[in-house]
Amino acid sequence: MEQTQQVKTTAVKGTDTAREVRALVKNIYKSAHEAKAQGKKVAYIMVASQYDEIIRAMDIVPLPTENYAGLCAAKRDMDRFLLKAEADGYSQVLCSYARIGLGFDSMRKELGRIPDGSPDGGMPVPDMMLGSSAVCDPRFKWFQAASRYLEAPTFGIDVVAPPPQDDLNEVRDYYIKYQREQLLALIEFLEKQTGKKMDKERLWEAIRLGDKAWQLWYDIDRLRVAVPCPMPSQDHFSIMVAGHYYTGTQVAVDFYQKLYDEVKYKVDHKIGVIADEKYRILYGGGLPPWHTLWIFNYFESFGAVFVIENVYRGFDPVEVPAQVKDPVDYLAWRTFLRFTRYHEKARARSGNPTVEKLLDMINDYKIDGVVFHACRSCRATTIGQTHMKSELGKYSDLPMMQLVSDMVDLRDYSEAQWKAQISAFIEALQGRGK
């Protein structure tokens, strides 16, 4: 199949540190190939599954298949993998991350080698696949399907969160207990695969590094309340690589420290993303359009800067009770606290934790308008956007817009339609007299 010609897809970044992320991304796949050559264990993983530190503590090299799908889209080299998965029987409406991953695995199996010209050298055959139910259904089901193409032991864990209406005092204990048991089962599986026991001190060290990196990331995001905005959303969609794919390592801590210093400098010297910041936009939700990230710069040409976003965020810091002395207990507690962070607030007002989070952002970041991205193949981040817009409208009169395409499948994107929508949105912002 002819390879799609690459065109520019990426956005101009606002910070210098964000430009260093490309090397971090390349290193993910390079490290995986090197690990395979050295006989180390490599695992397909899912982002934000709450098991990152465990994997690091066990010296397993993570291979994030979702990130690879985004990378293929950014390189505009996704069609051959999407079409291969569809030829193998996967629906065109199935999660396009999964379609790229499955299509890639299928081609690699058929060829007996990595498909020619695969972005960043492609993904080697993993030694295991670790799914999770955090965030969406395909993330625990995809690797089961991938066993069609590769013989690697597969394991999945549940990551559970109660609905916001539940009384946390009634459910907290058994949610945390279950989370702990799921993580322990994963550790048992990994010990079997690696032939070595989990070292709890190493796990604590990975947790310490993970928490430190995420605290720095949180602090960076808090700096972004400044006017003018020191770091835009297109940078977020790069710098998240350190937090999500290097969790539990010194690399992530060092990266965010450097980024923090740069963003702080910009805030102190009032250096904005663009010279004349007229409108401050909240990216309200939906996976980013990896195929067309330059669209953020297009908004900037009208003076509109995306100053904060509600996807692929780091979790806000949470305070695990001091009496928790075991690292697995700590991870279980941390998961519960992260996923229930806005529950009490929601119960007191809108009933919806995401609405509360967005309202906080609108207030803190002095937002002028909200943009959502509906992805046709991502139910988890898309269903509820329309409802959310309507709920937000009860507390805020800001202009809101929903752009529709997909996170990686370009067939669902129309540049002309987006530009027409953006034009109307900018007019709405202008109409508010700013």
Partner 1 sequence: MTAIKQIEELYGERGKRARELHDAGKKVIGYFCCFVPDEIITAFDMIPYRIQGSQNDPIDEADAFLEPMACPFARSCFNMALKGEYDFLDGFVAPHSCDTIERMYHIWQSNKPSPFNHMINVPHMMGPSSNAFYRKELDYFILRLENFSGKKLDKGKLRDAILLYNRRRALLRELYELRKSNPPRVSGTEITKVLVAGMGIPAAEHIDLVQAFIDEIKYRPELKADGLPRIFIWGNEIDDIAFIHLVEECGAHVVMDDLCTGTRFFWDDVPETDDPLDGLTTRYICTHCPRSLSPQEGLREEDLENRFGYMRKFISQWQANAVIFYIVRYCDTCELEGPDLREYLNNLKLPVLMIEDDYSTSTIGQLRTRIQAFLEMISTS
* Contacting residues toward partner 1, per CB under 8 A: 88-91, 93-95, 98, 131, 133, 136-138, 140-142, 144-145, 147-148, 151, 153-158, 160, 162-166, 170-171, 174-175, 177-178, 181-182, 185, 351-352, 374, 376-377, 379-380, 382-387, 390-391
Hey, how many other C-beta atoms are within 10 angstroms of the C-beta on 421? 16
Question: What's the per-residue H, E or C state across 410-430?
Answer: HHHCCHHHHHHHHHHHHHHHH
In the complex, least distance from residue 386 CB atom to partner 1, rounded to whole angstroms: 6
Residue 350 DSSP class: T
In the complex, least distance from residue 335 CB atom to partner 1, rounded to whole angstroms: 14
What sign has the CA pseudo-torsion 96, 102, 105, 109? Answer: negative
In the complex, least distance from residue 426 CB atom to partner 1, rounded to whole angstroms: 24
In the complex, least distance from residue 177 CB atom to partner 1, rounded to whole angstroms: 8
- Closest to partner 1 by CB, 197 or 387: 387
Bridge partners of 375, per DSSP, are 405
Q: Give DSSP secondary structure letters for 323-335.
A: T--SHHHHHHHHH
H or E, element range at 299: helix 295-300
CA–CA dist 132, 155 (Å, integer): 8
Residues 6+ apart with CB under 8 A from 38: none
In the complex, least distance from residue 164 CB atom to partner 1, rounded to whole angstroms: 8
CA–CA dist 206, 341 (Å, integer): 23
- Closest to partner 1 by CB, 157 or 216: 157
- Closest to partner 1 by CB, 32 or 378: 378
- Closest to partner 1 by CB, 202 or 379: 379
In the complex, least distance from residue 284 CB atom to partner 1, rounded to whole angstroms: 14
- Closest to partner 1 by CB, 164 or 232: 164
In the complex, least distance from residue 256 CB atom to partner 1, rounded to whole angstroms: 31
- Closest to partner 1 by CB, 1 or 93: 93
- Closest to partner 1 by CB, 283 or 365: 283
- Closest to partner 1 by CB, 10 or 133: 133
Give me Rg for the CA atoms of the chain: 21
In the three-class reduction of DSSP (H, G, I as helix; E, B as strand; rest coil), residue 307 is classed as: strand
In the complex, least distance from residue 208 CB atom to partner 1, rounded to whole angstroms: 27
CA–CA dist 151, 159 (Å, integer): 25
Interior angle at CA 186, CA 180 and CA 188, nearest 5: 105
Hey, how many other C-beta atoms are within 10 angstroms of the C-beta on 192? 11
Q: At 375, phi and psi to the nearest 5?
A: -105, 125
Bridge partners of 281, per DSSP, are 306, 369
